[in-house]
Structure 1
Amino acid sequence: MTTTEQGPVISPAERKGALVGVLLALFMAALDQTIVSTATPMIIKDLAFPTNWITWLTTSYLVTSTALLPIWGKLSDLYGRRPMLMWGLGIFVVASVLCGLSQTPLQLVIFRAMQGAGSAAIFANAFAVVGDLFEPRDRPKYQGLFGAMFGLSSVIGPWIGGLLTDYISWHWVFLVNVPVGGVAMWFIYKRMPLLRHTTGQQIDFYGAALLLLSVVPLLIALSLAPVSYAWNSLEILSMFALSFLATFVFIRHELKHDGAILDLDLFKDRAFSLTALASFSLGAVFLGSIVFIPLYMVNVLGVSATSSGATLTPLTLGLVFGNVVSGQLVSRIGSYKPVLIPSLVVLMLSYLWLALTLDADQTQLNVIIKLVVLGMALGPTIPLYTQMMINTAPRKKMGVASSSATFVRQMGSSMGLAFLGTVFSAHLAMGFATQIEPQIPAQFKVALTSDMSAEEAQSHTKSQAASFDFDQLRRSIQEQVTEPTAQAQAMAKVDTLQRSFRVLWADATRQIFWFGFFIIVIGLLFTVFIPEVPMGPAQKKPAKEKVA
């Protein structure tokens, strides 16, 4: 690629190679999110995840991915998209291997966090590459293509995840990332131009450290309260205080620093800031269905991991359709809001539909129909908000704007999932402790945890509400109760308890969609007041700017 005073001259071969490489990288990162969702019930059972640890399978990934997004975006502006993507893919592939080899919940959570660190580089750079290669009016078409790739991985992911979990092992849902990541790295290394904007700035390490201190304690506190620690406990209040103090210092530092990690000047633009608020709100509900629907399908409807993955396929097909069609419509209409606002109205109604009807007696077909509508409505929100924020930024800040857009959305996803996970686990744990656990005879609970005292076993049973094994309880009854009539009565009681458990799980899942409904209303209000974002020809770049 050569450089002129007007900007980069990229050959068609370089443009195609860059697109293929980034699409594959995005495919891998998105595949990891969806392929793990269908394996989650088996992971919870196999590794005996405590109830309040369930969301950490996703939250640990999101914490590091979110916190590091602006840092990767700034690094890519300074040193080039290609090397940052290579580093991110390398970290992601290594972490995937370690996840596949994990033997304890703590190990898996730590290595998922490592995966998130690698994925941050991928997401921070993927949309910025589109900004580098194409003019503003053409970008929605390619954003739709990126959304389609994300959707394709979402369609394939649950299916592959279910097959691997049912017929081999859940460990392979992580190991499958290795060949995909290897191919993506080859394309990026061989085909992608450097795409570096040389501004002469240095990375702001102090600002990066302050950003991590702002984000990480906040997300951890939201994930731990109130199940592990009370809201007014010293642990939670200390983390909130640390996050608040670090945020205050970070904002003051960034306003005075020329090479800011998170360029706060971008938020002075009304369109950028309102779009960021809307994207944050929609990000807060995005993962709700993807994380909790597979758990509902397995634990309430009793389907296999493969069938659970098949249920998510219609949602992701709808997601693909919404991504692609919305990008084409925006390019033709020349405006974002006529596409976004109707989509949000339908999304709001679909969440309300699920909140009212998702009970223990649903059929798989009924759930599929609802998820198709939800997916089509959710699809446009992924690329369009991001592109609106990128289009308001000058080209030399494209990486920072892209990473800021993704950072805002994933902060919403992280905080939203932590909040929704807290609502879910608190409802489930409280219901289990009051409705299910008291009806399990003590001798059977001790048999389930033979190396513990009766008191320890009782406490353990409550903390493991989400992964409680009714089949193991039945085996314990068969071993301890030999008289046929008494055994039959005990088994009938277990069946009744398991039915109550499924009703309880469905109730907890509905809470997710009730809260999601109100969050979408807030996002819709922000979207209504966003000024129109220009989609005309790209602004000419300053002559002094150089692009390698």
Structure 2
Amino acid sequence: MEHLDQKKKISIMLAIMAAMLFAALNQTIVGTALPKIVGELGGFEYYSWVFTSFMLASSVTAILVGKLSDTYGRKPFILIGIGIFIVGSFLCGLSENIIELIIYRGVQGFGGGMIMSTAFTAVGDLFSPRERGRWQGIMSGVFGLASVFGPTLGGYIVDHTHWKWVFWVFLPVGIIAFAMIFWLFPSIKRTEKVPIDYLGSLFLTLTIVPLLLAFSWAGSRYDWASTEILGLFCAAAVALILFIVAERKAKSPVVPLSLFKNGIFTISNAVGLILGAGMFGAIMYMPFFVQGVMGTSATQSGFIMMPMTLAMVLASTIGGQLITKTGKYKLIALTGLLTMAVGMYLLSLMTAATSVPVAVLFIIIVGFGLGLAFPVFTLTVQNAVDQKLLGVATASTQLFRQLGGTIGVAILGTIMNARMNSKIGELMEQNQGALPTDPEVLETLEFLQDPQVLMDHQKVDEFLLSIPQELQLIVQDMLNLMKDALSFSLTGVFFIGSIIMLSAFILTFLLKEIPLRTSNQAPAKDEASQGTE
């Protein structure tokens, strides 16, 4: 599609970005709305599955569709993806219980995986690697905008209308995107019969699903050393071995193992995995600090996080333009990763006395670094592989980033809980004389021993009004202890996050910077097959 005129390319990109915005908004809008949705549907114990079902379905679908789109073209899969996502969104709004919502979110995930996989690959079809930097940056900005407006809009919808509109409000955007892609996106004709790697697809799915579940549940639902978690890891390991055996024998493997001999492909995906861990670490745990330690409301927390996303959008756009203009990307990637590492370290220095402007400044630094680095490693992979492998290579970058995020959240969450429990025990021992010993009083104050209560300021205020005045000072002391423990645990998480990002920075030095091609021709083997300098 590189031969198309610029006007038609831009029209196609507008359609692709509309599809991506449709999918991204439907992901980000759910977070703030879900507590109220679950409150009406019931089934709080299955709360996490509303996210997990989407993650599993989208992760598996993205990598499988990557290979299929290399064979059959991008158009049918992005159209099918939008269609499935529209149906899934509509069904989510019709859910009458939590199980139905989980199933329909899985349907959304199948569609979302197809959209994301083909959308980023389509950029590689339309533009040469030298031109892609600009568009990769803009597309990353689409995710950023969805992250800014989605949560706010989700909260507004559930506060003022029925929650089903969370899933229905963007259906017209999906329909418009479908129509635009149907009319504008060129079709390709299959010239040869390529066998589908059913066995490899099966074993790849059986590797990804238990691996993601193990990291999602470890340290929260089950202990790391529990039978359930170890069983999932073992199942993933066995499936991975069978996958490798199947891929070596397959005529057209779903993920060609030869890609991992390409140093640029391997190092880029390793950095992407680490970047995913750092990115989700900042996004997941910063609101805990802002609300629980600094004492802001959920709404204020959203406004504090917003500058991070806007900085990410700005940086990804600037970085993309610089890559297209100069043809260089390694320095931009290194700058972004180092900036993000510095930002995470600054977050680790915060205390309960940290002012909101200072916290916003630190989170802006993290967002700016993330925006510079995020689009680069998809571009490096696309630039280093043959055009016929563009789909599977691009999908692999998304899979490794998703794995990184899941693994990062699990490990950082475990670190947070361990540090928090250690600190609570230490503080309780230091203040033993000042704390009540009466069993009835202790039972009344039992819920205060969970730092999670710091997130619900209204509940704390109501509790203070319901107890005698002599207990209120004791409650304030206990709340201060919980704040200290939460601050200690989260700053430790941010410090570990800075170390993780620093490791990505160091690893990027090993990435060989080959010239960005000015056409979609196969890269020279002597360049693409080498990954280190």
For the aligned pair, the TM-score class normalised by the smaller chain equals 0.7 to 0.9
Residue 96 of structure 1 deviates from its aligned partner by 3.5
Distance 1:334 1:402, change over 3 A: same
**Contact 2:294/2:354 (<8 A) preserved:** yes
Instruction: Map 1:361-440 onto structure 2 (within 5 A).
Output: 361-425=353-417
Counterparts of 2:164 and 2:418, CA distance in 1: 28
Distance 1:447 1:152, change over 3 A: same
Q: Give the match's secondary structure for 2:29.
A: helix
Distance 1:26 1:334, change over 3 A: same
Q: Give the match's secondary structure for 1:379.
A: helix
Residue 22 of structure 1 deviates from its aligned partner by 0.9
**Contact 1:319/1:379 (<8 A) preserved:** yes
**Contact 1:208/1:261 (<8 A) preserved:** yes
The alignment status of 1:514 with 2:495, answered yes or no, reads yes
Q: Who is 2:471 aligned against?
A: 490
Counterparts of 1:473 and 1:311, CA distance in 2: 22
Residue 138 of structure 1 deviates from its aligned partner by 1.0
Q: Who is 1:342 aligned against?
A: 335
Counterparts of 1:166 and 1:364, CA distance in 2: 26
The alignment status of 1:29 with 2:23, answered yes or no, reads yes
Counterparts of 2:130 and 2:74, CA distance in 1: 22
**Contact 1:341/1:527 (<8 A) preserved:** yes
Distance 1:324 1:469, change over 3 A: closer
Counterparts of 2:32 and 2:398, CA distance in 1: 25
Aligned sequence identity (%) = 32
Counterparts of 1:143 and 1:127, CA distance in 2: 8
Distance 1:110 1:521, change over 3 A: farther
> What do the CA deviations read for 1:131-150 (whole angstroms, capped 9, x no partner)?
11112211111112212222
Distance 1:539 1:13, change over 3 A: closer
Counterparts of 1:103 and 1:472, CA distance in 2: 28
Instruction: Map 1:433-448 onto structure 2 (within 5 A).
Output: none
Q: Which runs of 5+ in 1 are unaligned?
A: 1-6, 449-457, 482-486, 543-548
Q: Who is 1:526 aligned against?
A: 507
- Which of 138, 147, 151 pairs up with 1:154? 147
Residue 502 of structure 1 deviates from its aligned partner by 3.7
Distance 1:500 1:117, change over 3 A: farther
> What do the CA deviations read for 1:226-281 (whole angstroms, capped 9, x no partner)?
34323332222211111001111111211221221112212211111111111111
Counterparts of 1:108 and 1:387, CA distance in 2: 36
The RMSD of aligned alpha carbons is 3.6
> What do the CA deviations read for 1:150-179 (whole angstroms, capped 9, x no partner)?
222233224324434555576654443433
Q: Who is 1:308 aligned against?
A: 301
Counterparts of 1:415 and 1:198, CA distance in 2: 41
Which one is further off, 470-479 or 383-392?
A: 470-479
Residue 201 of structure 1 deviates from its aligned partner by 1.3
Distance 1:156 1:26, change over 3 A: same
- Which of 9, 17, 24 pairs up with 1:15? 9
Distance 1:197 1:423, change over 3 A: farther
Counterparts of 1:473 and 1:346, CA distance in 2: 38
Counterparts of 1:498 and 1:204, CA distance in 2: 57
> What do the CA deviations read for 1:165-220 (whole angstroms, capped 9, x no partner)?
55557665444343332332232223222356655213222111111111111121
Q: Who is 1:3 aligned against?
A: none
Counterparts of 1:90 and 1:433, CA distance in 2: 53
Q: Give the match's secondary structure for 2:374.
A: helix
Q: Give the match's secondary structure for 1:137.
A: helix
**Contact 1:55/1:418 (<8 A) preserved:** no
Please, what TM-score do these two structures have when normalized by structure 1? 0.82
Residue 34 of structure 1 deviates from its aligned partner by 3.6
> What do the CA deviations read for 1:478-504 (whole angstroms, capped 9, x no partner)?
67x6xxxxx222344344434443443
* Structure of greater relative contact order (alpha carbons < 8 Å, 6+ residues apart): 1
Instruction: Map 1:443-482 onto structure 2 (within 5 A).
Output: 465=452, 471=458
Q: Give the match's secondary structure for 2:252.
A: coil
Q: Give the match's secondary structure for 1:138.
A: helix
**Contact 1:227/1:425 (<8 A) preserved:** no
Q: Who is 1:321 aligned against?
A: 314
Counterparts of 2:382 and 2:54, CA distance in 1: 25
> What do the CA deviations read for 1:465-520 (whole angstroms, capped 9, x no partner)?
569867557757867x6xxxxx2223443444344434433333323312211211
- Which of 519, 526, 529 pairs up with 1:538? 519
Q: Who is 1:125 aligned against?
A: 118
Aligned length in residues: 516
Counterparts of 1:537 and 1:201, CA distance in 2: 29
Residue 63 of structure 1 deviates from its aligned partner by 3.1
Please, what TM-score do these two structures have when normalized by structure 2? 0.84
Residue 25 of structure 1 deviates from its aligned partner by 1.6
